[in-house]
Amino acid sequence: MTTISERVSQSAFDGSRLRVVLLLDLHDGAQKQFLEAYEHMRNQVASIPGHISDQLCQSIENPSQWLITSEWESAPPFLAWVNSEEHVATVQPLHSCVRDTRSLRFSVLRETARTDGAAPVESGLQPVPRIGDGVVRHALTFTVKPGTEDIVAKILADYESPQARVDENTRLRRTSLFMHGNRVVRAVEVEGDLLAALRHVSRQPEVRAVEEALNPYLEQDRDLSDPDSARMFFTRAALPTVHHVTAGHHAPGDVQRHALFYQAKEGCGMALARLLAGQDEETADDAGSPVASSTIFQRDDVVVRLLEVSGPLGAQPALALGIGGPRKAAMLGRLLDGGANGLPSNDQEAARFLAQAEMKLITDRRATEA
């Protein structure tokens, strides 16, 4: 039986400095408007805690192509900023100037010595490269009107999977849909370019039909025929990956997929995600753990943990919840919205807590090749 040969890990919590690269293709004649919008954005972001510097560059080969790079002390302050309503409002003026964009985010691993004789800055460098598996993980989340959950679940379950092949370098791998009350979470896995895959999916007739069918039931109104409305909806719905680890000692066919929903106290979402990430890193080193992999998605005070588990999810409920030991259980209780009232102190209470957190699986499928 074939098993995964190496541990796979990615994390926003490794403490390394972050380099963000934004590639832009401007509309003809939009340079002046773009520069004015950029100056406003630059002044806003300069005051954000964790921001170090940024640069605006223009291509010497194609004046319509621009590049914005920024450096941050670490990933968490950048993610808090880029997922905020303040950021949405700040970048809104850029949208009418830009034909196309692509955002890339990198941990700083090495740095060359400075030529002015000053010592290089060694702090904030990622100590060792992480091992990847060629898969990009992303999620979207939104809420539907209370009372429409069953209708929405049927719409989401009854659709034809889009073709997996996007281009020669990009392929859809898996889509999983979960619900927790009136909240929907759609987790996707892509080999290659995530943005190209999301654009490919959005153009498919079967997917557009599902999205249009959902519109009457959404709590946040949207008009997919209006690019600004669609962009705003999907910007707010983005649920980024902040941590992923695959242990590397489970056979892929022996595991089942589950999702857990954690509602953090106001302002505690990032701290909660960090706590769960630390537990999952420890669990990955335990060959006896039933957790084969964990992916943590977080935005504001919403945290979703996607698990691949061998055997029943409730066999080790505290471990499945990400709270190995009473100290971490107490920390979880302090970070969860209302969590201290139902804090699990034994396996029976942990099992009840786990049942409350588990999301309902609506569909889990791999996209078809043909």
What average pLDDT score do residues 55-74 get? Answer: 96
**Tell me: the pLDDT tens digits for 157-179?**
988 788 888 888 899 999 999 99
Q: Which amino acid is at 213?
A: A
The CATH number of residue 35's host domain is 3.30.70.100
How far is residue 64's CA from residue 134's CA, in Å, rounded to a whole number?
Answer: 31
pLDDT averaged over every residue in the chain: 88
CATH number of the domain enclosing 306 = 3.30.70
pLDDT in tens, 232-263: 888 899 999 999 999 877 666 678 999 999 99
Q: Are residues 356 and 304 in the same domain?
A: yes
Q: How far is CA 222 from CA 56, 195, 212, 268, in A?
A: 32, 20, 10, 29
Is residue 313 predicted with pLDDT exceeding 60?
yes
Structural domain containing residue 349? 241-361
The predicted-structure confidence for 265-308, as pLDDT tens digits, reads as follows 999 999 999 999 999 998 888 888 889 999 999 999 999 999 99
Task: Give the mean model confidence (pLDDT) for residues 69-79.
Answer: 95
Give pLDDT, residue 370: 46
Residues 263 and 332 in one domain: yes
Question: Between 73 and 204, whose confidence is greater?
Answer: 73
Residue 3, pLDDT above cutoff 80: no
**Is 121 within a domain?**
no
**What percent of the chain lies above the pLDDT cut of 70?**
91
What whole-number distance in Å separates Cα of residue 132 and Cα of residue 60?
34
Number of domains in the chain: 3
- State the pLDDT at residue 2: 38
Does residue 105 have a pLDDT over 70? Answer: yes
Name the one residue in this structure whose structure tokens are 């990956």. Answer: 241
Residue 7 lies in a domain: no
Question: Which of 216, 240, 264 lies at the terminal end of a domain, its last residue?
Answer: 240
Query: What is the rounded distance in angstroms from the CA atom of residue 80 to the CA atom of residue 274?
Result: 13
In angstroms, rounded to a whole number, what is the distance separating the alpha carbons of residues 145 and 182? 7
**One domain for residues 291 and 334:** yes
What's the predicted TM-score (pTM) here? 0.90
Predicted local confidence at residue 1, as pLDDT: 35
